[in-house]
Amino acid sequence: MRILFVAMPGSVHTARWLAQVDGAGWDVHLFPSLWQPPHPHLNDVTVHTVLVGRRGPDSPPGLRVRGVWPFRRGSETVYWLANRSTAQRWLRPAERLARLIRRLEPDVVHSLEFQGAGYLVLAARERLGGRMPPWVATNWGSDVYLFGRLAAHQERVRAVLSQCDFYSCETQRDVRLAREIGLRGEVWPVVPNSGGLDLARCEPLRSGVASSRRLVVLKGYQHFAGRALVGLRALSRCADALRGYEVAVYSASPAVAMAAELFGAETGVPVAVVPPCSHEEMLRLFGRARVYLGLSIADAIPTSLLEAMVMGAFPIQSSTSGADEWITHGESGLIVPPEDPEEVEAALRRALSDDALVDRAGAINADTARRRLDSGSIRQQVLSSYRRVVSGTAARSGKRA
């Protein structure tokens, strides 16, 4: 099978999704949707547009690159194609992608995320007319839930949903919203976009039951969706309950890092801004945490929420995600409004004081992880989904799959 992915090359979510098809014996290609160097964990994939630099000495051995280079011309991005036998040409991204699809003739084109990759495939599809292979469009995070409600994006979100052949997402909520907006294609099994977790590998990284831990971990995103500053405000409001605790903030923007330092100085609560680290180190951090706190005005299933659940940390997550499809409020976690520090404070106080609640939640979430987050099980669902796409296409065309 030949799959052409259109995705952010530097994203860990891209790398983790592609890792699920690694070893299947398929011919995997990637057309980047952003100016990023390939993620170091990409393996056994041909990258057709290198957006930053050439392959370096630290590139994975299974990463193959092709010589297409981007330039800025005015306000648009164009690609300079160097060919030994023809004159040099300027190509816009959609033209380059359409040209690549014609040459590769992939069995499947799969866009990961809407605003970059989905819109790009949509534009390439218009250039290809009826020669487009089956298109799988994956919704990341806020693609439908937030951007589908914004005037600048509504038309294109609707167009992606109405023209893709298959749709994948992380929540039943986004399945319902996609159908309301105009989805016509088949829906893939609802699984996390980051794939699953190796639960056996995670187990040794846990440190005791949650009630014995004295660490609160805060997701540090503060941007169009993230609301880490609300989380810090809530932590300040319950500083008295944090005596004997430490706070760790990861993925912190400069504004959040500054606010975290001021929080520590004003409250006396030890606080650390976690530098970029490996996946195992992040899992260890969650494995030492009593409470995980993640706030945003829009999301699907935050990977950090799932990792916290696996590692036994008690999750407090904003109501604007799909958290209610994974945790039960008041039993296996707490679901809060993303911009109300008083409500978040109340949830934190409960999680910090109720040992029975956090330990019971840890047991419930461990069972949920065994049933729904095992990487091997999710991988088999993903591989089966691709095979169904190709076998269905072959059946309609009268060919053998």
- Domain range holding 280? 199-372
Q: Are residues 55 and 104 in the same domain?
A: yes
Is the domain of 225 the same as that of 302? yes
Per-residue tokens: 184:
């016509």
How many domains does one find in the chain?
A: 2
Q: Look up residue 118 and give its two tokens.
A: 């989905």
Identify the segments of the chain with pLDDT beneath 70: 49-91, 393-401
pLDDT score, position 35: 75
pLDDT in the model for residue 394? 55
Residue 305 and residue 170 share a domain: no
Residues in Cβ contact with 347 at an 8 Å cutoff, skipping those fewer than 6 apart: 316, 334, 336
For residues 157 and 8, state if they share a domain.
yes
> Are 141 and 188 within one domain?
yes
Name the pTM for this structure.
0.88
Residues 90 and 176 in one domain: yes
Cβ-based neighbours of 323, under 8 Å, separated by 6 or more: 301, 302, 305, 315, 317, 333, 335
In 3D space, the residue among 330, 333, 353, 310 whose CA is nearest the CA of residue 211 turns out to be 353
224/362 same-domain check: yes
Whether residues 25 and 166 share a domain: the answer is yes
- Planar angle of CA 311, 314, 316, nearest 5 degrees: 125
**The predicted structure's pLDDT at residue 130:** 77
